[in-house]
């Protein structure tokens, strides 16, 4: 399952490197993470960094490969087969790295972006608060400034890497600025007094990433750790909007890998398992699930590719927001459907830990919820669609007039 015709020879080499890396990942690490015996898989990051597979889009000056989104998506699909936890830890370099790469000072890029890309430090992002994740701007984390020091007070919930990451990008509102959008500021928080993990969550899947609730009590953050320095104060809204591109594209890209992993297991099983004297893939009820699944994954991959190309081409922020949200929504829902099909094809054995499909199913359930729930994706999609649609006169044929009664004014009633 691939779209080789759409990718370059360099992308094929990248895909092979990612496949080699993914094959390197010890099975025991996956099993231990799923049993929460691991809190944060540092060796995974170190190995990815050593192989120069992290932060692919960032400038070679900071250790990146300067690749476009269309290439990073290929890498994300491959890492996705490992599940949500490792996929997330891999993606966080892309997400937090985007914020530092676009808005950080040179010193911040040297101090944080470089070691992140080398896999020497682990990063996390704290956006969600106990009182709500979707309503991001209603967050209540505060930053009080005294000279060149900020004291942060608040909480962030569901942070992957809460327990193990070295650097956490969080958002807080600077006191004294009334407009919440103008007060919102991104901080690069290093662990120290005032930063505490108060709860590690028991999760349905996505385990082994140290997902927890972080509490900040007058946590000290120097001005040099405000993302962008002095100029970054009050710039959090722009940082947030920029970060939402990798936040959602990484979910979309890795989703394809999860769906692919599950349906390949199921398709192989259906080709071997017999019932009523024949291979079960001879039953339409089974083979059509395979057909639906590969179609969904191919469609999702193509949509992701076009969203990635839109970002690479620097199209308008509205267009990018719509396409990225469509990708996140469609790919994650496709993956959920595909993994369910895979489990159904496997029958009872699919529900056991003889096959990893049950773990993938537990993992994949999350992805329609996180990085902006799919309900929020729908809000964005319709908003950006209407904005563009209503502001531009139709360029093509006016199809509405192609009806016998099209010009009967008394019949087209809009209740105005
Ligand atoms: C395992 C895990 C890992 C996570 N990792 C991170 C992380 O590393 N960093 C981080 O910051 N966050 C992380 N999250 C948080 C995740 O992104 C949020 O859970 C998600 O954005 C939803 O926010 P919420 O849980 O507060 O739900 P709420 O915002 O309370 O939403 C509840 C429900 O209401 C719906 N809803 C809310 N508003 C609207 C609306 N306007 N229209 C329609 N429907 C609406 C939502 O779609 C959802 O179905 C993680 C979550 C989990 C479970």
CATH code, domain with 157: 2.40.110.10
92 and 186 belong to one structural domain: no
How far does residue 27's CA lie from ligand 1's centre (Å)? Answer: 30
Testing ligand 1's pocket by substitution, the residue of 33, 85, 92, 134 carrying the most ligand atoms inside 8 A of its CB is: 134
pLDDT of residue 333: 98
Q: Flag whether 407 is in a domain.
A: no
Task: Please report the pLDDT score of residue 34 as a whole number.
Answer: 98
* Residue of 40, 125, 127, 158 to mutate, ligand 1, most atoms within 8 A of C-beta: 158
Q: What is the pLDDT of residues 65-76, one digit of tens each?
A: 999 999 999 999
Question: Is residue 69 in some structural domain?
Answer: yes
Rounded Cα gap, residues 82 and 360, in angstroms: 9
**Token pair in block for residue 379:** 């809000």
406: in domain: no
What pLDDT is attached to residue 277? 98
CA of 380 to the centre of ligand 1 (A): 15
Nearest CA to ligand 1 atom 27: 133
265 with 177, same domain: the answer is no
Is 247 in the same domain as 356?
A: yes
Percent share of the chain, pLDDT over 90: 94
Whether 162 and 138 map to the same domain: the answer is yes
Residue 16 lies in a domain: yes
- Ligand 1 atom nearest residue 126's Cα: 11
The best mutation among 135, 167, 362, 373 to test binding of ligand 1, ranked by most ligand atoms within 8 Å of the C-beta, falls on 373
Q: In a 3-state reduction of DSSP, which class is residue 25? A: coil
What is the number of domains present in the chain?
A: 3
Same domain, 265 and 320: yes
Q: Which residues line ligand 1 (CB under 6 A)?
A: 125-128, 132-134, 158-160, 203, 206, 211, 366, 369-373, 375-376, 379
**219, 234, 249 - which closes a domain:** 234
| Neighbouring C-beta atoms of residue 110, cutoff 10 Å | 13
Q: Which CATH number does the domain housing residue 299 bear?
A: 1.20.140.10
Residues 375, 336 share a domain:
yes
Chosen domain end from 91, 122, 153: 122
* pLDDT above 70 as % of the chain: 99
Single out the residue of 326, 352, 357 nearest to residue 341, CA to CA. 357
Displacement of CA 188 from its chain's centroid (Å) = 20
Is 280 in a helix, a strand, or coil?
helix
Closest Cα to atom 32 of ligand 1: 134
Ligand 1 midpoint to CA 225 (Å): 27
Same domain, 250 and 353: yes
Q: Does the pLDDT at position 3 exceed 70?
A: no
- Quick: pLDDT tens for 301-354: 999 999 999 999 999 999 999 999 999 999 999 999 999 999 999 999 999 999
pLDDT band at 289 (very low <50, low <70, confident <90, very high): very high
Instruction: Return the CATH number at 64.
Output: 1.10.540.10
Give the N- to C-terminal CA distance of the chain in Å, as an integer: 52
Would you say residue 364 has pLDDT above 50? yes
Q: How much is the average pLDDT of 343-370?
A: 98
pLDDT tops 80 at residue 365? yes
Query: CA 43, 46, 52, 55 torsion: positive or negative?
Result: positive
In this prediction, residues 111-125 reach a mean pLDDT of 98
Which domain range does residue 340 map to? Answer: 237-391
Closest CA to 249 of 325, 168, 336, 360: 325
Residue 225 lies in a domain: yes
Together in a domain, 197 and 244: no
Decide if 53 is inside a domain.
yes
Look at residue 1 in the predicted model and tell me its pLDDT: 47
- In-domain check, residue 218: yes
Does 2 score more than 60 pLDDT?
A: no
C-beta separation of 80 from 255 below 8 A: yes
Q: Which atom of ligand 1 is nearest to the CA of 129?
A: 26
End position of a domain, from candidates 58, 89, 122: 122
164 shares its domain with 180: yes
**Pair (43, 95) in one structural domain:** yes
* Pairwise CA distance, residues 120 & 138, whole Å: 34
Give Cβ neighbours of residue 172 (< 8 Å, ≥ 6 apart). Answer: 139, 141, 142, 143, 150, 152, 154, 184, 185, 187
Q: What is the pLDDT of residues 81-106, one digit of tens each?
A: 999 999 999 999 999 999 999 999 99
What element of type H or E holds 365? none
Q: Are residues 135 and 274 part of one domain? A: no
Residue 398 lies in a domain: no
pLDDT tens track for 186-229: 999 999 899 999 999 999 999 999 999 999 999 999 999 999 99
Nearest CA to ligand 1 atom 48: 373
pLDDT value, residue 416: 67
Bridge partners, residue 197, by sequence = 214
Q: Is the pLDDT of residue 409 over 90?
A: no
Query: Same structural domain for residues 375 and 241?
Result: yes
Question: How many other C-beta atoms can be found within 10 angstroms of the C-beta atom of residue 415?
Answer: 3
User: How are beta strands 184-190 and 142-146 bridged, if at all?
Assistant: unpaired
Examine the pLDDT at 23 and tell me if it is beyond 90: yes
């Amino acid at each position: 399952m691939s779209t080789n015709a759409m990718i370059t020879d360099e992308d094929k080499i990248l895909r092979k490197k990612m496949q080699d890396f993914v094959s390197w990942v010890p099975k025991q690490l996956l099993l231990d993470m799923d049993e929460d015996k691991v809190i944060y898989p540092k060796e995974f990051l170190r190995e990815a960094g050593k192989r120069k597979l992290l932060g692919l889009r960032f400038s070679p000056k900071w250790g990146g490969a300067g690749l476009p989104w269309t290439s990073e998506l290929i890498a994300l699909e491959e890492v996705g087969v490992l599940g949500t936890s490792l996929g997330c830890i891999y993606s966080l370099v892309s997400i937090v790295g985007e914020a530092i790469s676009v808005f950080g000072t040179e010193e911040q890029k040297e101090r944080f972006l470089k070691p992140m890309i080398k896999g020497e430090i682990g990063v996390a992002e704290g956006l969600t608060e106990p009182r709500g994740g979707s309503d991001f701007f209603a967050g209540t984390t505060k930053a009080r400034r005294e000279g060149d020091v900020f004291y942060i007070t608040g909480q962030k919930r569901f942070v992957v890497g809460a327990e193990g990451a070295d650097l956490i990008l969080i958002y807080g509102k600077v006191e004294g600025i009334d407009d919440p959008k103008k007060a919102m500021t991104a901080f690069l928080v290093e662990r120290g007094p005032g930063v505490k993990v108060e709860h590690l969550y028991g999760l349905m899947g996505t385990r082994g990433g140290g997902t927890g609730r972080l509490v900040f009590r007058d946590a000290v953050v120097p001005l040099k750790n405000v993302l962008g320095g002095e100029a970054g104060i009050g710039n959090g809204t722009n940082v947030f909007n920029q970060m939402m591109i990798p936040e959602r594209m990484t979910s979309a890209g890795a989703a394809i890998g999860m769906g692919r992993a599950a349906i390949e297991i199921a398709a192989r099983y259906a080709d071997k398992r017999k019932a009523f004297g024949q291979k079960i893939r001879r039953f339409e009820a089974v083979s059509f699930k395979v057909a639906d699944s590969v179609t969904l994954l191919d469609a999702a991959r193509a949509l992701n590719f076009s969203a990635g190309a839109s970002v690479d081409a620097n199209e308008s922020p509205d267009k990018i927001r719509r396409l990225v949200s469509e990708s996140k929504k469609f790919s994650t829902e496709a993956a959920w459907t595909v993994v369910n099909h895979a489990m159904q094809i496997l029958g009872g054995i699919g529900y056991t830990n003889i096959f990893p499909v049950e773990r993938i199913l537990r993992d994949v359930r999350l992805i329609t919820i996180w990085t902006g729930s799919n309900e929020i994706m729908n809000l964005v999609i319709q908003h950006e669609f209407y904005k563009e649609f209503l502001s531009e006169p139709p360029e093509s044929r006016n199809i509405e007039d192609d009806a016998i009664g099209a010009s009967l004014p008394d019949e087209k009633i809009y209740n105005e």
